[in-house]
Amino acid sequence: MPSMYDHPHLLADVGSRHVQFALEVAPGEFRHPLRLRCADFPELHLAVTRYLEWQPLGPVRHAAFAISTPVAGDQVRMTNYPWTFSIEALRECLGLEQLLVVNDFTALAMALPSLLPQEMRQVGGGNAQPRSVIGVLGAGSGLGVSGLIPAADGWIALGTEGGHASFAPSDERELVILQHAWRQYDHVSFERLLSGSGLQLIHRALAERHSVRVVDLEPQQITQAAIEGRDALCAETVDAFCRILGTAAANLAVTQGAFGGIFIGSGIVPRLGSTFDRSGFRQRFEDKGRFRDYMAQIPTFVVTTENATLAGAAIILNTHLQKTAVQGTGNGLLGQIQRARANLSPAERRVADHVIAHAHGTLNDPIARIALQARVSQPTVIRFCRTLGCDGLSDFKLRLAASLTNSMPITHTQVRGDDTMLELGVKVLSNTASSILQVRDQLNRDTIDKAAQLILTASRVEIHALGHSSIVADDAQFKFLRVGVPATAYTVPRLQELAVQLVDRSVLVVVVSVSGSVTELLDLVSQAQARGAPVLAITASQSALARKADLSLVIDPTEDPSVHLPMISRILLLLLIDILVVGVMMRRGGDALPQIGDQARQSADEPLPAPARRRARMTGPGVGQAGSLSGLTSHGQ
């Protein structure tokens, strides 16, 4: 058994009526299933605790919960059931090392590529094209919608709320249903009709249409009566339901280009069996006018296995565990610690090793206990936190908690020699987006506030950079000038040597360097500080520059080693400059606008008027030569 299965993995499918549990003891091997009613437990953790007490396989360290609600951040609030919880608090309560919480249809989507033929049933024609986009939807307590996009090393699941797209009728009967729904709801989404309560709404609307008085039925009673053929109104209700589902599925197919097929799961449709196959679903799915031939190529399937959502949650959990094992706990704070470890002092390295080995305990331990267990002094713990760009232990713990509870890890995909231009473009954009999200999670509010305050109180700002980072210095100069901050960019070593001799404590020196190890820039920092000037560094968290500066904004990009260009890091540096500029403008409020005049309203990619260009060139001796070849090629970052 693989080492990751030394302890079984806890899986849960959390719906609005029931919670389905199981333990995964090997890939795809589930044991001890149990279904509990949500109504029997006032909180989710009580249901999980009941299952853990009942299951006979011993302690659990890792878990993944698929839940029928959007998941964004630590706080989860179910849409169709009154359960709310914090993911981190739930993990601590259950004594787990890892707890991933994902949307149930994201989990279902991840299970689709591994389904066996006997676990699904095709409805209608069409052939699935390999390695193509797959769409998934299903009606239960609500309407779940997701999709899968093929990636180089697997699949990417889409977390969506497509069930809330606006419903549009396709015939007179559906117009009557919509008008009936409008009397109750301002907005009628597909979920209003394609759900258990939606079946009841359609049933009432059709009864009103036919002037028939009926007793309200439960969704299961409506579907059962239709399957058995003993109630014409229930049969018409189910047929209308299936046709509306055909419209929703077709919209999903054309939106995603889902030539890998559309898969239908969740509670209602699989229970309809052959009644669904004989319905107008497929006819409506293909009824796209000029796109009829296009739609006929796309197959539609019903997922018949009951464990697909649990299987998808297991796949997400296993992928996460494998990536954290290979990448050194991923791209969060723990990954940052792993990457920084080699450059730490021996004492700080002991703190790093303690945090990696006891990450969850560190969240609750006071500084005295952390220092004692790492065999260091308390100031060393604080110094370690600041080396990682955190403003003390409290900020460090907040970022550590986010790193431990991140449900969908950020990934970096390496480009390959056989990639097409489209694949290269997708990977470059995806990697950049992942790195931006990583920086977002690492941002420290206090540090940004202090940096903005330094800029506002300085008599002028000098930005120093070399090599590929020179363009960032030029961009910073331009943007600071536009918001009325006196700024000069220096990107030539000789000019930097001269300029630093003229600074004093009123001047803010900003040093930009990805590596943070360029000797010339480190010497410049020492000279600036000797003259009393504060130094703000924009650099890597573990770098010598970050240690030396008075304040640091940190980035730790994952550049593609097969591309000898600093693409991602340059974009991240530019974004940090943008954050500072926006911060300065917000701090000044309306006072900034008169200083920039009409230029502030000019598009950033348009050239300044000629007089403004002349003033910009006069702001400092380094500006006119900032883009010289010597400045770009003679030095590293």
Could you tell me if 466 and 566 are in contact, meaning their C-beta atoms sit under 8 angstroms apart? no
Please check the confidence at residue 72 and state whether its pLDDT lies above 50: yes
pLDDT on residue 89: 84
pLDDT on residue 515: 83
Q: In this predicted structure, which of 263-277, 291-305, 325-339, 621-635 has the lowest mean pLDDT?
A: 621-635
Could you tell me if 238 and 275 are in contact, meaning their C-beta atoms sit under 8 angstroms apart? yes
Give the tokens for residue 232. Answer: 């014409």
Closest to 308 measured CA to CA, from 175, 501, 148, 451: 148
pLDDT tens readout for residues 99-153: 899 888 889 989 998 888 999 999 999 999 988 999 999 998 889 898 899 876 6
- Exposure of 94 by Cβ count < 10 A (0-12 exposed, 13-18 middle, 19+ buried)? middle
Is the Cα dihedral 584, 585, 587, 592 positive or negative?
positive
Could you tell me if 330 and 71 are in contact, meaning their C-beta atoms sit under 8 angstroms apart? no
Residue 82 CB neighbours (<10 A): 10
Could you tell me if 103 and 139 are in contact, meaning their C-beta atoms sit under 8 angstroms apart? no
Query: For the domain bounded by 421-633, which CATH number is listed?
Result: 3.40.50.10490
pLDDT on residue 137: 93
Residue 26 CB neighbours (<10 A): 13
Q: Name the helix (H) or strand (E) containing 84.
A: strand 84-86
CA distance 123 to 276: 9
Which of the 8 DSSP states describes residue 602?
S
Please check the confidence at residue 590 and state whether its pLDDT lies above 90: no
Give the start-to-end residue ranges of the domains of the chain.
3-115, 117-304, 328-405, 421-633
Instruction: Kindly report the CATH class assigned to 117-304.
Output: alpha beta
- Report the pLDDT averaged over residues 443-471: 87
Question: Using 50, 70 and 90 to split pLDDT, how confident is the model at 442?
Answer: low
Higher-confidence residue of 445 and 313: namely 313
Please check the confidence at residue 331 and state whether its pLDDT lies above 80: no
Please check the confidence at residue 423 and state whether its pLDDT lies above 60: no
Could you tell me if 231 and 272 are in contact, meaning their C-beta atoms sit under 8 angstroms apart? no
- Report the pLDDT averaged over residues 466-484: 90
CA distance 161 to 380: 46
Please check the confidence at residue 606 and state whether its pLDDT lies above 60: no
Radius of gyration in angstroms for the set of CA atoms belonging to the chain, rounded to a whole number: 30
Is the Cα dihedral 508, 514, 517, 519 positive or negative?
negative
In 3-state terms, what secondary structure has residue 526?
helix
Q: In this predicted structure, which of 11-20, 335-344, 543-552 has the lowest mean pLDDT?
A: 335-344
CA distance 465 to 222: 71
In 3-state terms, what secondary structure has residue 460?
strand
Could you tell me if 370 and 284 are in contact, meaning their C-beta atoms sit under 8 angstroms apart? no
Does CATH number 3.60.90.10 belong to domain 3-115?
Answer: no
Closest to 520 measured CA to CA, from 467, 457, 472: 467
Could you tell me if 567 and 559 are in contact, meaning their C-beta atoms sit under 8 angstroms apart? yes
Please check the confidence at residue 319 and state whether its pLDDT lies above 50: yes
Residue 357 CB neighbours (<10 A): 11
CA distance 214 to 569: 66
Instruction: Kindly report the CATH class assigned to 328-405.
Output: mainly alpha
Mean pLDDT of the chain: 82
Helix (H) and strand (E) counts in the chain: 29, 18
pLDDT tens readout for residues 199-236: 999 999 999 999 998 888 999 999 999 999 999 999 99
In 3-state terms, what secondary structure has residue 266?
coil
- Report the pLDDT averaged over residues 340-354: 89
Could you tell me if 31 and 58 are in contact, meaning their C-beta atoms sit under 8 angstroms apart? no
Which of the 8 DSSP states describes residue 608?
P
CA distance 72 to 405: 11
In 3-state terms, what secondary structure has residue 371?
helix
Residue 237 CB neighbours (<10 A): 28
